[in-house]
Each structure stands twice: as C-alpha cells, then as structure tokens.
Chains A and B, each alone.
Chain A
Amino acid sequence: MGLPVEQILIQTINGLVNGMILALVASGLTLIFGIMDVVNFAHGELVMLGAFVGATTIGMTGNFWLALMVATLAIAAFGAILQVTTLRPLLGRDPLTTILATFGISLVLQKYALWQWGPSARKLQEPITAQFSLFYLKYPWYRIATAVLAAAIIGALFLFLKYGKFGIWIRAAMQDRVMAQAMGIPVPLVHTVVFAIGAGMAAASGVLFGPLAGVTQNIGADFTLRAFIVVVVGGMGNLGGSILAAIFISLLEAYASLIVSPAQAVIVSFVALILTLLFRPTGLFVPTPK
C-alpha cells in the first residue's frame, strides 16, 4: 500500500502544530529541571488545570483570548504557591524526592479537577473558525494560529532569558547556584519565578490545546509523559534541544499514525526515548560533550 503524498504533507502540518504545543509544555519542564533539578511530575496536571480554568473563563465571558490570559496568570500564581509550599523545603535533597512530592501533587490536582469540573470532556470554543482548503480537506486556520502563537511565546521566553535582567539572573542561577547567590542574586525568588513561568506556559498550552480535542482530568498524565520524553530526548535542561525534540517526536508520532492506530503510535516515541537514553544519554539535539 503506497502512501499518498497529500497524507504525508497533512501529517507533517499536524505534527508541527502538535509539536509546537508540546514544545510550550516541555520548555517549562526543562527550565524547571535545569535550574533546580526538580523533575516535575505534576507538569501535565498544570496543563490540564490551565485548560479547565480557560474553559470556565470562556463560559463566563465568551472571550477566548481573555481566557488564555486569565488561565496563564492564574496557574502561574498557583505554581508559585506550589513551589514555595512543597518544593522549597526539598531544595538540596535527593532529586528523587522531588519526583515523589510532585507525584503526590499530581494525584491531588487530578482528583481535584474531577471534583470541580466533573468527568465529562469539555471542548473549548475556537476563536478562529475560518478554514482553508488543503488538498481534499478543510484545514482550520486555528491550528496554524496555535503553532504561531506557541512559537511567539517561546520566542518571547528566549528574548527574556537573553536580554531581561531577571532572565540573566535565571541563566546565572542555572549555571551555578552557589556562585549566583554569592553575587547577590536572590536565588530562592528566581526558583519560584521560574516555576511560575513554567506553570504559566503549561497553562497557556492547555488553553491552546483545548479546542483541538476534549479536555478531561486525564489528559495531564499523557502530557507529563510526552513532555518527559521530549525533555530527555532533547537533553535535560536544554531549552533549544527540547523544542527541536518536541517537533521531532510529534512528527514521528504523526507519521507513525499513518500506519498504525494513534494509540499504538505512542510506542514509536517510547522507543525513540529508549534509544536516545542508550546511545546518546545527553540528548539528541545538543553538541557532543567532551
């Protein structure tokens, strides 16, 4: 059975769109890991909470863009509280304890969402309903807009890290926590802000993802797992690598789902992860360490 070119092209676009959303999730995760060695098991739960907060805001105001802002800010504030109450006491302990603590948090958040928003799936209203024709099907502009918006947010993060005063503090604390502290950088505050940024980005991707598929309280685990795969394949703590890896993994899954069912396509990215860990544990998209 030959695969038509159109299908491959459509899947390429799908993969790119999904990849940008995933990159938004994964860049927060990798930033958090890079700066405080915290493996945030609750990251997908933040995506899920963001989507639900967005859905509630849309229900009240009917404005998608307002919902995107509200969800991002609310979850960022929530992330800051979470970091201060649970992760700050664990600083300096074995990184494995942070896996355990954030795993506990993810259980709580998931059941809280079930309690608050119920088990039925919600689909967010698309803000852009226009479509353009792509070969034999009508492709929604919203998907393209999502990818562009996600890229813009990531680009803003890059600029902030490169030129912003606080961004420079973040990079300094990433390189050497003790030295940064000695230079007068308020490292605990930097940690909290980074966690808040990561949480806000997760929430934003949750709202962007909302119109593409239904939101239930179970999507968190899936996002956590995929973001982990991306972060490891891209190289832990490496922002640029994570973004490339997110696109790489999403394309891989998109092409695989041409041949097998989407549920089984996940295995392809699992295998990619294991191969990466075995042959290039520092990550695919980073220069070879000396």
Chain B
Amino acid sequence: MRRSAAAYWTGFCVILALLAVAPLVLPEFWRRFVTEILIWGLLAMSSDILIGYTGMVSFGHSAFFGLGMYGAAAALMVVKPANLWLALVLGLAAAAGVAVFVAFFATRLRDIYFAITTLVFSQIFYVIIFTWTDVTGGENGLTFARPALSIPGLFSVPFTTETLHWFVLAVVAVSFLILRRVTQSPFGMVLQAIRENEPRARAIGYSVERYKIVAVMLSGLFAGLAGILYAIQNKFAAPDFVFFLVSGEVVIFNVMGGMGTLVGPVAGAAFFLLLREGLSRYFTEYYLIPVGIIFTAMVIFMPQGLLGFARRRLNQ
C-alpha cells in the first residue's frame, strides 16, 4: 500500500512536471491544445463526481460550464479594467446559482429521469441565453478582452501563452487534489455507497438527498471553473457551449477514459481531442462519424474505459 502510494505521487509529479514544461518545448498550436485539454479535463473530472462516484449520469454539465463562462464574461465586460479574480468570483457565483437550482429539483429523481431532467435544465438555460439577445448577445455570443494575470498590490502582467498555460495547470492541479481529497473523505465514501446501493445507504441512516444535492453543487462549481478558464483562454462566450451536445461530449470523455477514477476522464478528454484533431484532418467536419463509432464500440466492449482496460492489462 505504502509503495503504491509513493508510486502514485511520483507519477503525479512526473506528469505535472511534463505538463509544466510542455509550453516551453511544443510549437504554438500544440501549446494551446494542451491548455485546452486541461480545461476540458477539469470539466470531465467535475462530472465524474456525479457519473463515476455517485452513479448519476448528468447530461446537463453544459449549463454549469456555460454559466461559468457567461458569469466571467459579465465581470470582464462590465468592470474596467478587467479583473481576473472578479471574473473567477462572478463565474463561480453564476455556476453555483444554477447548480443550486438544478440540484434542488433534479436530485429527487434517479437514473434515466435524472439524466433527462439535467438535460432539460441545460436546454432551458440554452434557450434563455439564445433568445435573450440584449444581454447575452444571442447567437453571436460575447467577446471581451483577456484580463491581466495579477495579484492585487503585487504585480500585474498580461497573459502570454505560457503563463496562461501555467495558470490553467495550477488551477486544474489544485482542483484535482481537492476533488481527490473529497472522494476519499467520509463524504466521498457515502457518495460511493449511494452508487453501490442507494436503499441500503438510506437504511443505514444517511440523508441520501442531502448528499446528492451537495454532490451536484460541488460538481457544478468545478464545471463552472472550467467554463471560466475557457472564457479567459478564448476571450469569448457563446450559446453553443450551453447546448446539450457539450454535455454529451463530457459524458464521452468519462466513458472513454474510465468513470470513477478522476484521472480517467482527463485522459478521456485528451484521447477525444487528439482523436478529433487527428481524424478531422481526413474527415474534416465529419470526424464525429468515426469518433461516434469508436465511442459506441467502447460502451459495448470496454465499459471500464481506457484506464480500466489498461489497469486490467497491467494486472494480468
């Protein structure tokens, strides 16, 4: 046990170091690409709390992601000069607001009903954002300037590709550590108990609904954080990111990488984005045809995902 823990942290540090060096050695296009993988990986990790640990498949993560995005956009557009920390706070507040709303209603339902309700909620927010043109820019979305990387009273420098990558890496790494700690805490254990056998968890005396609400809110907060990072990286917010296809992609990340592992969804996001990048050179916009076939085959033949598959291979 001790040795495997040491091996785990060594692996963690090696990967962290590799990711930290990445922008220094990679060409410009791949630098942005790695940053993007990290952001989508954070979104995938956040939904893993629900899908993998609590056994609730959410098809509504685009709502949290998108509201984080629009919250950050609001802060960056209204307040001059644009402030990074204000964007973070407002984005998180927006995502948390949605999360409270969704959690309150959706957690009363189970299985497919939960999936459909989260989907419908995200579509409600999509329709609102899409049609409320005066505030959200409607179909065109919002564009804004990137804030400077600053610590109030200490320094303030504009983001470069490298510093942006490191900033994202730091946020994602810290989020990973927090989420990992949460899943190993007594709270996380109760979530896994709910996944394994909900009636029994209730019979033992846990207030299952309350745990589920907190799980959805936690998940929504981190999904919102990913949305804020994406807004800062790309300097725009668009209703497309609230559409339920994004939620579907997040579920794909989880299935491809391996649910209930936290690392798996990040690997799944990387795998998916690499696959998309590689395939779209040959298939242009039709890359989803082969990706969809691979995904469906993985659901049928590899339900543990890449990570589970690799682990089983290594154990043999």
Q: Enumerate chain A interface residues (CB-CB to B < 8 A).
A: 39, 86, 89-90, 93, 95-97, 99-101, 103-108, 110-112, 114-115, 221, 225, 228-229, 232, 261, 263-264, 266-267, 270-271, 273-274, 277-278, 281
Contact = CB atoms under 8 A, between A and B. Distances in A.
Contacts of A96: 57, 111-112, 115
A274 to B, nearest CB: 6
A103 B248 contact: yes
A148 B117 CA distance: 32
Interface string B99-128: 000000100110111011101110110011
A86 B109 contact: no
Given A108-B292, A270-B123, A114 B112 contact: no
B289 A111 contact: yes
Contact of B120 (A89, A106, A229): A229
B109 A95 contact: no
Contacts of A93: 303
A12 to B, nearest CB: 24
Contacts of A39: 112, 115
B7 interface: no
B286 A90 contact: no
A105 B112 contact: no
Contacts of B124: 267, 270-271
B130 interface: yes
A274 B105 contact: yes
Contacts of B127: 263-264, 266-267, 270
Contact of A107 (B113, B131, B292): B292
From A225, A228, A274, residue with most partner B Cβ within 10 Å: A274
B291 A99 contact: no
Interface in B66-122: 105, 108-109, 111-113, 115-117, 119-121
A212 to B, nearest CB: 21
Interface of B is mostly: helix
B289 A277 contact: no
B117 A108 contact: no
Contacts of A95: 111-112
A97 B303 CA distance: 9
B255 interface: yes
**10 residue pairs, one from A and one from B, having the closest CB atoms:** A104-B296, A108-B292, A107-B292, A104-B295, A111-B288, A101-B299, A100-B299, A104-B292, A111-B289, A107-B288
Interface string B121-145: 1011001101100000000000000
A110 B168 CA distance: 34
B251 interface: yes
B277 to A, nearest CB: 17
Given A104-B295, A108-B292, A261-B131, 15 more contacts: A96-B57, A96-B115, A99-B57, A100-B299, A104-B296, A108-B288, A108-B293, A110-B288, A115-B286, A225-B123, A270-B120, A273-B117, A277-B117, A278-B108, A281-B109
Given A229-B120, A274-B105, A111 B112 contact: no
Interface in B250-283: 251-252, 255
Nearest to B296: A104
A105 B296 contact: yes
Contacts of A90: 299-300
Contacts of A105: 292, 296
A130 to B, nearest CB: 36
